[in-house]
Every structure is written in C-alpha cells, then in structure tokens.
Structure 1
C-alpha cells in the first residue's frame, strides 16, 4: 500500500505538475479536518493545498486535545470525512483512530513524520524509478522522520545507513530493532555508521536531518558537495529542514539538490493519501 500511495502521488503530479488554480472534483463536498496538538505550518499548508486540489474543504483546529477520552475520535469524526493529526505522542493517534468513524492519518508525531518521509521517498523514486537496491544515507540528529525512514526503506527494497549522534554519545533510534528485523526479513541492509565518511560511501541519496540546536555538535553533521563527490558518483541531496550551518549554500542549491522538490511533493502525497482513504482511489490505477 505504501508503494501504491507514492506511485499514485507521482501519477497525480505528472498529470498536474503545477497545481496553482487547479480544483478537481475527486473529493467534491468532502471535509478534511487538520487536528493539531503541535503546530506544523508546512504540513498544515500541504494538507490544506491537497484538499483544495481535490475539491474538498478543510478546517484546522489547534488545541491540546484530551486524548485520554476515548469518545474524542467518535465526536470529531462526525464532523469530517478524514482527519489528519499532529501530536507529541504517537499512541494517542492509534487510540483516537480506533474510535473514529472516518480515516485518521498521522501528519507528524513523536514517533513518525509520515508525510515528509513519503514525500522524500517520492522524490527519490522520481529520479531513480524505484527504491530497489538504492543506497540511502541519513546524517543528522534523531528525528521522527528518521524513524519513518528506518521502516520505509527496507519495506521498499532500499539499503539505509545513518549517523544520528556525535562520536562520544551513542544514540539508538526508537525503531532501530524493528528496522533491523525488517531488513533481515526483506534482505536489505540497515547500518548505523560511526563516521560521516561511512554514510557518504557509495550513496545514491544523502538526506540531511534538521539542524541540531547544539552548535558544538554541528561538526558531526556537516555535509559538503565535495565530500559526497569523493565517495559517490551519481547522487542526490535532500534536506529535511530547518537548515543550519551544517550545510552550505553550494550544496543546498546544488543541481543535485532536491529539497524544494520534496516539499512540493508533500501536497501530492497528502492528496494521494486522502483520495485513497476516503474513496479508495489511486491516481492512474
């Protein structure tokens, strides 16, 4: 299903590469609720744009939802046809969705960054056609998007390696064991690297995580185009953002950089998710 959603988003983009001023009838009359416990303006904009593109309307609610009340999912679902949620605790979304009468989708939580991760996968597939046997590297602090990558890459047949900590303080991502088990089952490689150079070696895509707030750790996550060139031949670069001094202008604006493409792809992914969830539609299928 994950690959189907990404391929559906790619098909939608091929048909409508510029969605400004475009309004389809796909979800005409539907209501999309954007329920945010934590403000995520970029994700909010992507989901809202996706709803407009498909002819639906959207309503945004920013509130400290009392997730402990099981009836909340049922109450909110009477007022929308699909609900996109951002929260600090992922298990709350599961509880909320179990009592909802409409589809509930995670935009961002402490555990996952679903839309951004899928938009990144979409960006990679646009360049390479598929994920099978690709080598993808992540260099940056621990982040929900890293957790999502740890599951998505083995599921789609890609090899994934990462470095998410400084040399002195090892950090194990939340979903490391789940990724390790998946990689073994699906015969892909998942590796925690001990050096930046190891992340860059023979990589097809290098992903920079959001900048660290600790300036003394910037050196551990520094990436330059010259360093990638030394270790890889054909490569693309994507920054999760926010960007800091770990990435210079040369790399961020490089001809191989696809960061802006990834952000654009968010609304196509959101549109593919809501169309499939509400009416079971896959574009071009």
Structure 2
C-alpha cells in the first residue's frame, strides 16, 4: 500500500464517519444548498473527476452525483457494467488499481456489498458506496439533513421504519447509532434486518411486527418499496405479506402531530404508501430527494479537500 492509498478515506457505511464529522458534514450540506440557491459560484474541483460505476440502474444517484461534480467545477464519468472490463470478468482489485490512478474518486452502485469493500481496499482514491444490497448511506445523509432542516436535531427522537429489513433499514440502524435516536422497525416475520447489525445497535433499535404500535409517538415515519431491484420475482408474494405494513393515514395518525414522512423513492402509491400520505402535508420526500445533491456535494468536499 502506497502513501496515497494509506491516507485515503472511503465512505462505504455511515459509520465510516464519526458523529462529529457526520453532523459537520450535514451542516455543510445545508450551507452549500444555500450558496447554490443564492447563485454563489463555488468550484473547488477544477480538473477533478469522479468515476461512477453502476451495476444497478439509477435516477437520483446518477443525477445527484453528476450534477454535484459539475457544480463543484469537476467532471463525472458514467460507467455501466456492460461498458467496462469489470463487467467482463476483470478482477475487482485490478479495476480498482487502474481506475484510481486516473480519477480522483469512485462511486459504486452495485448488488454485493463485498464489491465496494474489495474495490476500496485496492483504491488509491476515495470510494463511495452509492448503494449495495446491505447499505445505502448516501440516502441517509440526505434523510437526516432533511429532518434537521425541518425539525432540528434528530438526537433523542423516535424514528419508525415500516417495511422490509433491507439496505435502507440497515442504514437507518447505523444512523440511529451515529446520530443517537431511537429506531423502531416494523416488518413482517421473516423479513427482519440483519441480526448482527441489530445486535450492534440493540440499545437504540427495537423490532416489532405491528406497524401501528411501531408508529406510536414517532417523529418520523419512513418506508421503501416492498420488492427492491433483484427481487422482482417475489413481487406478488411480497404484496400479500406486506399489505398490512402499508403507510397510510391510520399509521400516520399514531405518530406525533408534527411527524414527517420520508421515502427514498421511487414510490408505488397504493402499495407501500398511500397517495394521501406521500402527497400530503407531512411528506418531505421531494426535498429529501433534492438533498441527495447537497449532502453528496458536502461528502465529496469532505473526502477530496484537506481537512483542518
């Protein structure tokens, strides 16, 4: 490992940040958001390039990272699995060694979390987890930023996750540890989140099988699609099992009066959430989606600029 690789920091999980770093990063995200809306030009990345590797399709992840790099004065390079040797059997380690000698950072959106870990282990530049089957940390930066902007500090609040114990649920579990809030997970039996991860955050996370009970007094209600990419063949079965876990007006009525609703999108109205909720006054999903841009700009700045 050379000196450049040894100094390199990656963002594969929320827990790659300290609590202080995470809070500072989100404060910076809101500051960058204000600068952009005020028309202030800020381009610290001239001639810097972000390689974006996509094995999973994307709308928000691709657009937010690509636009973010352009706004910061840099360039983003889109690479799909079918366009690279990585998709033709080249060892991940070799792809990491080559690409990291040509670009300044790499964002990977893929299935197996081990892929981003192996890539980062052999990269000379920062590697960002744009989503894996285990975690979605960039989305959580945007989610917590959105809560902070609407309701203030999330420390000590109650967050309720309703649905599958999937990658988003896992990242909310890590967020509960990092930002010090209570998390309630409501899921059908057999769809609980990873047991080891739950054990690591057991003091802040409880798993229930009743969405109404889980929503009681919640400050934030969050859900996701019932079948993620790669699970399409399970759609019909999941619709039956997850039907009692729809976020609807009855669920929201159990939460605190000023509770917010979030969804990482895309959403299926009439399945995991009703139109009355996602399009209602408690929903902040559109600003949540926008904040992917601002949070990731702050993340890129954190990883690529020298820290004081």
- 2:284 paired residue number: 258
CA contact (8 A) 1:159 1:190 kept: yes
CA contact (8 A) 1:154 1:160 kept: no
- 1:201 paired residue number: 216
- 2:80 paired residue number: 62
CA contact (8 A) 2:92 2:118 kept: no
Q: CA offsets per residue over residues 104-143 of structure 1, 9 Å max, x none?
A: 1110111111211211111111122212101000111232
Q: Would the alpha carbon gap of residues 255 and 281 (structure 1) be closer, same or farther in structure 2, given more than 3 Å must change?
A: farther
- 2:112 paired residue number: 89
- 2:124 paired residue number: 101
- 2:166 paired residue number: 143
TM-score (norm 1): 0.88
TM-score (norm 2): 0.82
SS at match of 1:83: strand
- 2:25 paired residue number: 5
Hey, what's the Cα distance between the residues in 1 that align with 2:37 and 2:183?
A: 29
Hey, what's the Cα distance between the residues in 2 that align with 1:17 and 1:229?
A: 35
Q: What RMSD in Å do the two structures reach over aligned CA positions?
A: 2.0
- 2:135 paired residue number: 112
Hey, what's the Cα distance between the residues in 1 that align with 2:199 and 2:122?
A: 32
Runs of 4+ in 1 over 4 A off after TM superposition: none
CA contact (8 A) 1:211 1:243 kept: no
- 2:7 paired residue number: none
- 1:31 paired residue number: 49
CA contact (8 A) 1:154 1:179 kept: no
Structure 1 position 77, deviation (Å): 0.8
- 1:17 paired residue number: 37
SS at match of 2:201: helix
Hey, what's the Cα distance between the residues in 2 that align with 1:31 and 1:133?
A: 39
CA contact (8 A) 2:56 2:111 kept: yes
1:43 alignment partner, one of 61, 74, 90: 61
Structure 1 position 82, deviation (Å): 0.7
Gaps of 5+ in 1: none
CA contact (8 A) 2:170 2:197 kept: no
Number of residue pairs matched by the alignment: 272
User: Is 1:277–2:295 an aligned residue pair?
Assistant: no
Gaps of 5+ in 2: 1-20, 228-234
